[in-house]
Amino acid sequence: MPGGFVRRLAQARFALLAAAIVFALLVQFAGLAAMPALIGLAAIALAVLVREAALPGADGTSLYGDSAVPAVADRAVEAVISGLPDPAIALTADSLVVAFNASVQQITPGILRGEPISFALRAPDVLEAVRAVAASRQARRIEFFQRVPTDRWWEANIAPLALAGETPNRDRNLVLVTLRDLTPLRRIEEMRADFVANASHELRTPLASLSGFIETLQGPARNDVTSRDRFLAIMKEQATRMARLIDDLLSLSRIEQKAHIHPDHPVDLAAIVREVADGLSPLAHEREVEIRIADQASSLIVSGDRDELIRVFENLIENALKYGAPGKLVELALTREPAIGDAREAIVSVRDYGPGIAPEHLPRLTERFYRVDIGESRAQGGTGLGLALVKHSLNRHRGRLTIESTPGAGANFIVRLPLAKAASG
Ligand code: ADP
- CA dist 412 and 403 (Å) reads 6
- pLDDT value at 236 more than 90: yes
Please provide residue 192's backbone torsions phi and psi, each rounded to the nearest 5 degrees.
Answer: -65, -45
Using the mean position of ligand 1's atoms as its centre, give its distance from the Cα of residue 237 in Å: 20
Cβ distance 60 to 71 under 8 Å? yes
* Amino acid found at 281: S
pTM greater than 0.85 (yes/no): no
- CA dist 103 and 71 (Å) reads 23
pLDDT band for position 62 (50/70/90)?
very low
Using the mean position of ligand 1's atoms as its centre, give its distance from the Cα of residue 354 in Å: 12
- CA dist 61 and 276 (Å) reads 76
Q: How far is CA 413 from the centre of its chain?
A: 24
- Residues 77-131 have pLDDT tens digits of 888 888 888 999 999 989 999 999 999 988 888 899 889 999 988 889 999 999 9
Please, how many CA atoms are within 13 Å of residue 335, restricted to the half-sphere of its CB?
9
- pLDDT value at 366 more than 90: yes
User: For residue 57, with 0-12 CB atoms within 10 Å meaning exposed, 13-18 middle and 19 or more buried, which class applies?
Assistant: middle
Using the mean position of ligand 1's atoms as its centre, give its distance from the Cα of residue 267 in Å: 27
Q: Which atom of ligand 1 is nearest to the CA of 371?
A: 14
Task: Enumerate residues lining ligand 1, CB below 6 A.
Answer: 315, 319-320, 323-324, 352, 354, 357, 365, 371-373, 377, 382-388, 411
- Residues 253-262 have pLDDT tens digits of 999 999 999 9
Alpha-carbon torsion 308, 312, 317, 323, what sign?
Answer: positive
Cβ distance 312 to 322 under 8 Å? no
More confident residue, 19 or 125: 125
- CA dist 376 and 326 (Å) reads 14
Percent of the chain with pLDDT over 90: 60
Using the mean position of ligand 1's atoms as its centre, give its distance from the Cα of residue 284 in Å: 16
- CA dist 334 and 415 (Å) reads 10
Using the mean position of ligand 1's atoms as its centre, give its distance from the Cα of residue 291 in Å: 18
**Helix ranges restricted to H, 324-420:** 374-379, 386-396
Cβ distance 168 to 137 under 8 Å? yes
Alpha-carbon torsion 321, 403, 398, 388, what sign?
Answer: negative
Q: Which atom of ligand 1 is nearest to the CA of 387?
A: 6
Residue of 377, 392, 404 to test ligand 1 pocket, by largest number of atoms within 8 Å of CB: 377
Using the mean position of ligand 1's atoms as its centre, give its distance from the Cα of residue 248 in Å: 14
- CA dist 352 and 289 (Å) reads 10
- pLDDT value at 48 more than 90: no
Q: Whose CA is nearest to atom 27 of ligand 1?
A: 323
* Residue 16: Cβ within 10 Å count: 15
* Amino acid found at 396: R
